[in-house]
Amino acid sequence: DTEVTQTPKHLVMGMTNKKSLKCEQHMGHRAMYWYKQKAKKPPELMFVYSYEKLSINESVPSRFSPECPNSSLLNLHLHALQPEDSALYLCASSQVRDQPQHFGDGTRLSIL
Amino acid sequence: QQPVQSPQAVILREGEDAVINCSSSKALYSVHWYRQKHGEAPVFLMILLKGGEQKGHDKISASFNEKKQQSSLYLTASQLSYSGTYFCGTEWGKTSYDKVIFGPGTSLSVIP
């Protein structure tokens, strides 16, 4: 069991759908992250929130929209995705800089 | 710029040792090491900071050579549970807090 909880575990959606991925942590961590991971590839950083503010956006297409409603929650809103967006989406959190990132189990996303 | 890892893959018999290297063309502030098993989330192993010393726990240790901008992960007396993909993640300094970029990974298989 991981301390970072992601829902749903699996998601299949059409290219015109709107859906959201959710991530929750109750460790009091101040930074939260979204990564995208394709098969046999490393996690690829998408967004970082630090103290609930977006601090890093790695030039991610606008069809991905992050949101941090409070210090424990992180959402990733999806709209008009493309088949190449199919991947494992990982959420992570960390306490402060130079501390471990704790990863959730991920949401496996398939775009039809 | 993604760090470089070597080797890409390694197969060990139980009890053998292995070294995984991670290098960067940019000056490093820190190096993170994670292990990911198939279908699971990455799990933190250790962080090495610029100016820090070699770290280790159990039979896994790591070093950070600032002059070479390189880190090495040492696995001694390998166990079946060590199998997985090992990623190094690098941070490059004050202008990129929290931005950890992962290397391509090293697939390690331990066989009986």
Q: What is the pLDDT of residues A55-99, one digit of tens each?
A: 889 899 999 999 999 999 999 999 999 999 999 999 999 987 778
Q: What is the pLDDT of residue B67?
A: 86
Residue A78, phi then psi, degrees to nearest 5: -120, 135
Whole-angstrom CA distances from A51 to A27, A28, A33 are 14, 11, 12
Q: How far is A62 from chain B (nearest CA, A)?
A: 20
Which residue in A84, A65, A71 sits closest to A21, CA to CA?
Answer: A65
Question: Which residue is closest to A96 within chain B, CA to CA?
Answer: B98
The alpha carbon dihedral of B25, B30, B31, B34 has a sign of: negative
CA distance B101 to chain A (A): 7
Whether residue A17 is predicted with pLDDT greater than 70 in this model: the reply is yes
Give the tokens for residue B77: 């007396």
Contacts of A30 in chain B (CB under 8 A): none
Bridge-partner residues for A18, per DSSP?
A: A79
Please say whether the beta carbons of B36 and B85 come within 8 A.
Answer: yes
Which whole-number Å values give the CA distances from B18 to B2, B15, B42, B61, B62, in the listed order? Answer: 22, 10, 20, 11, 12
Distances (CA, A) of B74 to A7, B64, B106: 35, 12, 13
Question: Rounded to whole angstroms, how far apart are CA atoms A9 and A37?
Answer: 14
Burial of A72 (0-12, 13-18, 19+ CB in 10 A): middle
Let me know how long chain B is: 112
Residue B97, pLDDT > 70, answer: no
Burial of B95 (0-12, 13-18, 19+ CB in 10 A): exposed
Cross-chain residue pair A97–B49, CB shorter than 8 Å: no
Q: CB distance from A102 to chain B under 8 Å?
A: yes
Measured between CB atoms, which of A33, A45, A104 is closest to B101? A45
B8-59 pLDDT per residue, tens: 999 999 999 999 999 998 888 889 999 999 989 999 999 998 776 666 667 8
Question: What pLDDT, on a 0 to 100 scale, did the predictor assign at position B40?
Answer: 92
Distance between CA atoms of B57 and B64, rounded to whole angstroms? Answer: 15
pLDDT for the residue numbered B52: 65
